Structure 1
């Protein structure tokens, strides 16, 4: 049997192991062309809304495998093996992506939930937004914010953002995804797929309590400063000072 015939038979034998696409029906991707989805219309405006940030380094930045013709002929099966994707290391680039949320309540209260400064929020009291913790190492679970939508009538608007804390700007070297897991209906995904190599912060999505209910809108606006610049961009009106994290 020729080499290519052997590869073809192996490929066909493994077809069942690949995703057939059925999982795609369980997710909604917000894009520039389709940036808005209503939580109320899909019956997901109550309970706990989980917002997760996950990311990995792009393979092109960690010396992706060269698939030359010689290596294909000598080790053909290696051609179909996926690239090993690693989290950031000191040898590549030191990136600490953080997840945060600006909030405004109906009574006029405003503030931020974020790791910097230890503003982790509260799930059962204002602002009804809580950060689960601070992932500094690119763990698969990432960082997660929980929003208590049982108190949606007290929430005016939220702005979920991601920023790089005190390290080299490297949004263009990471593949970051923010995923919303509502209490009902499909998950909602937003990829930070635009190139902004010098940016330090990104407004990812907004949640507004509008007349028609709770609406999620894709933002994906990169800025070259930090939270104060996002504040000015969206008119929050908070006072900002330099903050620091405790050492891990």
Structure 2
């Protein structure tokens, strides 16, 4: 598991305003311009949420009648059937590689507690680390009031530990601009051995902020995504702090 270290800490909660309607980025419609819809300012909120594909393994198909007797079960993290009898949790992490106009590069991610900063470079901040796929998921905030300082941002998702299970989750990355419809990117392609996925690129193209769907799965972690997109960072092995 890779991490990059050179950046600050500390996560805060922010909100980016309401967004009406929804636009889904697909292979046939992969891009949208935030500038053209008047959303190239304020805070862009990027959220990751996921749940298990219960139809992929036995039991709990459709409505579970036992929830009537034990309603609190619906808040229990779903388990995924690994190869063989073992049961594993899926821990998806949301992260963002950044490149600024001055040449600065780095990553904002839970691994290593590199939560970034919203009001100072890199103008990207992670709200926290959700290890169980709760309703709120994980969120990255991007301060587009500093769009002129941003060259490109690669939002990606990786499985921190355990069995690769992208093909057993319903993962959704949603962008909430300061104006206009929210933008959704579904990670619904089957990639049973993949551990990371480049989801969306946010790029400053001659002053226009363009969002482009990527959805490219790789078998490795951050270093492999780095090579794929030519970021040029130095990566080492990292671990999350154990929560008690």
- Choose between structure 1 and 2 for higher RCO, CA contacts under 8 A separated by at least 6 residues: 2
Q: Which aligned runs of 4 or more in structure 1 are off by greater than 6 angstroms?
A: none
Greater strand share, 1 or 2? 2
1:166 offset after TM fit, Å?
1.6
Query: What residue in structure 1 maps to residue 13 of structure 2?
Result: none
1:94 corresponds to: 89
The runs of 5 or more residues in structure 1 that have no matched partner are: 1-24, 68-83
Q: Give the secondary-structure state (helix, strand or coil) at the position aligned to 2:183.
A: strand
SS state of the match for residue 237, structure 2? coil
**Aligned partners of 1:92 and 1:28: how far apart in 2?**
35
1:130 equivalenced with 2:125 (yes/no): yes
Residues 194-225 of structure 1: CA deviation (Å, up to 9, x unaligned): 00000000000000000260000000000000
User: Aligned to 1:194, which of 186, 189, 197?
Assistant: 189
Matching residue of 1:139? 134
Structure 1 position 88, deviation (Å): 2.6
Higher helix fraction (1 or 2): 1
- Unmatched tracts of structure 2, length 5 or more: 1-19, 64-73, 81-85
The separation in 2 between residues aligned to 1:33 and 1:112, in whole angstroms, is 29
- TM-score, normalising length: structure 2: 0.82
TM-score (norm 1): 0.80
TM superposition shift of 1:65: 3.2
1:236 to 216, 231, 239: 231
CA distance in 2, matches of 1:171, 1:66: 21
Q: 1:197 to 1:216 in 2, by over 3 A?
A: same
Q: Match for residue 61 of structure 2?
A: 65
What is the match of residue 105 of structure 1? 100
> Post-superposition shift, 1:59?
2.0
Q: CA shift at 1:86, angstroms?
A: 6.5
1:213 pairs, out of 208, 212, 234, with: 208
In the other structure, the counterpart of 1:26 is 21
Question: How many Å separate the matches in 1 of 2:235 and 2:197?
Answer: 17
Q: Alpha-carbon deviation of 1:94?
A: 1.6
Partner of 1:166, secondary structure, is coil
CA RMSD of the aligned region, Å? Answer: 2.1
Q: 2:111 aligns with which of 92, 110, 116?
A: 116
Task: Report the number of matched residues.
Answer: 210
